Amino acid sequence: MTDIKSMSRPDLAAFLSELGQPRFREKQVFQWLHRGVERFDEMSNLPKSLREQLEERCTLTVPQIARKQVSKIDGTIKYLWELADGNCVESVLMRYKHGNTICVSSEVGCLMGCAFCASTLGGLVRRLTPAEILDQVIFTQKDSGLPISNIVMMGIGEPLDNYDNVMRFLALVNDPDGLNIGMRRISLSTCGLVEKIDRLAEEQLQLTLSVSLHAPDDATRSRLMPVNRAVGVDRLMESCRRYFDKAGRRISYEYAMVDGVNDSDWQADRLAALLKGQGAHVNLIPLNNVEESPLKPSRRVAAFQKRLESHGVTCTVRRKLGGDIDASCGQLRRKAMGAAASYNKKL
């Protein structure tokens, strides 16, 4: 069976031409897929015989809403989607002044093992297909009735660990005949896989790259993020500088503030020195409590911010949305897994 929504446009065109279809059919099918049809039979401008052929040969992914929570505070909506194989991922729709923004997941679980993160507690189950990433945008928009203009790839999983599928997703969601979401309205967040950052620089995409730094020194970063043990902060920063030079886009650095671990003045000074000359932006994130983790939120966020700014680093503190609905990714899936172990089906 062909996963038709994951196909690139040239592949879709070749597939339909093999079925003996005229060239204009490709655009019709593509548009239906991106509007979120749930059955091929809904593609009402296609001949019935073609709809039947598609039904026989293709899978049409339609995630089911396993849970939905709406924040009473700020209207943030969180979805837990059940995929065709019973696995679950989360998406969060945030309502900003500059437009509705969805945070999407790229994998079921995560391989990276960051000490503060709920998504990685059960390890990596599997990577999502392009269609499964895209479906989060399509079906969130369809269910909520809210037009989505911005995407952040900051949900469950490490997007650069699922590189090819994420690149395909970006091309699909950017397509003018599909959701037409501009690259400048998309952010991709990575824990810092240097070879993949170098590869991404070659693609020359206009998206915003966010790097989860969380510490400016190897001892602290390796403690918080096992991925640092093999590479180290210096090599990561070299790769970030190459990205900045090549792609011409400033990197945004994420820094989750952990009490007594990465929130001291010397670390602010070291961080500022590290980012010198990059025009970089730092996003300080108040740590979200994860029950299973002994790490606690820092009480020095404002002082750390002031110290960074005294070195000329531009820096914002992330506003917390959906605080009443566990909106931070990974948490809802964890809860659901506790309720029903079958949510974590290994293939």
Question: Is residue 64 classed exposed, middle or buried when 0-12, 13-18 and 19+ CB atoms within 10 A define those classes?
Answer: exposed
Strand, coil or helix: 256? strand
Which lies closer to ligand SAH via its Cβ, residue 276 or residue 296? 296
Q: What CA–CA distance (Å, rounded) separates 77 from 144?
A: 8
User: In the stretch 224-253, what mask flags binding to ligand SAH with x, by CB under 6 A?
Assistant: ------------------------------
Does the footprint of ligand SAH cover residue 193 (CB under 6 A)?
A: no
**Catalytic residue chosen out of the listed positions 26, 88, 90, 117:** 90
Please give the residues from 146 up to 165 whose contact with ligand SAH meets the rule CB under 6 A. Answer: 154, 158
Q: 155 in the Ramachandran plot: left (φ > 0), alpha (ψ -120 to 50) or beta?
A: beta
Among 26, 132, 135, 254, binds ligand SAH (CB under 6 A): 254
Does the footprint of ligand SAH cover residue 256 (CB under 6 A)?
A: yes
Residue 58 annotated in active site: no
Please give the residues from 267 up to 286 whose contact with ligand SAH meets the rule CB under 6 A. Answer: 285
Residue 90 annotated in active site: yes
Q: What CA–CA distance (Å, rounded) separates 211 from 217?
A: 15
Does the footprint of ligand SAH cover residue 136 (CB under 6 A)?
A: no
Which lies closer to ligand SAH via its Cβ, residue 29 or residue 117? 117
User: In the stretch 288-327, what mask flags binding to ligand SAH with x, by CB under 6 A?
Assistant: x-x-------------------------------------
Structure tokens at 321: 């949305």
Strands 124-127 and 107-109: antiparallel
Could you tell me the smallest distance in angstroms from the CB atom of residue 325 to ligand SAH?
15
Does the footprint of ligand SAH cover residue 197 (CB under 6 A)?
A: no
Nearest residue to 148 (alpha-carbon basis) of 198, 93, 229: 93
Q: Which stretch binds ligand SAH (CB under 6 A): 6-14, 62-70, 173-181, 185-193?
A: 185-193
User: In the stretch 98-127, what mask flags binding to ligand SAH with x, by CB under 6 A?
Assistant: ----------------x-xx----------
Whether the CB-CB separation of 181 and 174 falls below 8 Å is answered with: yes
Could you tell me the smallest distance in angstroms from the CB atom of residue 21 to ligand SAH?
39
Could you tell me the smallest distance in angstroms from the CB atom of residue 151 to ligand SAH?
13
Which lies closer to ligand SAH via its Cβ, residue 100 or residue 120? 120
Q: What CA–CA distance (Å, rounded) separates 97 from 180?
A: 20
Number of residues written out for the chain:
347
Whether the CB-CB separation of 240 and 211 falls below 8 Å is answered with: yes
Q: What CA–CA distance (Å, rounded) separates 273 from 282?
A: 13
Please give the residues from 57 up to 86 whose contact with ligand SAH meets the rule CB under 6 A. Answer: none
Could you tell me the smallest distance in angstroms from the CB atom of residue 253 to ligand SAH?
9
Could you tell me the smallest distance in angstroms from the CB atom of residue 183 to ligand SAH?
18
Contacts of 310 (CB under 8 A, 6+ apart): none
Could you tell me the smallest distance in angstroms from the CB atom of residue 277 to ligand SAH?
23
Q: What CA–CA distance (Å, rounded) separates 254 from 271?
A: 12
Place of tokens 């989607």: 81
Strand, coil or helix: 301? helix
Does the footprint of ligand SAH cover residue 190 (CB under 6 A)?
A: yes
Helix (H) or strand (E) run with residue 132 in it: helix 130-144
Which lies closer to ligand SAH via its Cβ, residue 179 or residue 329? 329
Among 129, 174, 189, 239, binds ligand SAH (CB under 6 A): 189
Q: For the chain, how long is the longest CA-to-CA vector?
A: 69
Contacts of 259 (CB under 8 A, 6+ apart): 287, 295, 296, 297, 298, 299
Please identify every residue annotated as catalytic: 90, 329
Residues that bind ligand SAH (CB under 6 A): 114, 116-117, 154, 158, 189-191, 212, 254, 256, 285, 287-288, 290, 328
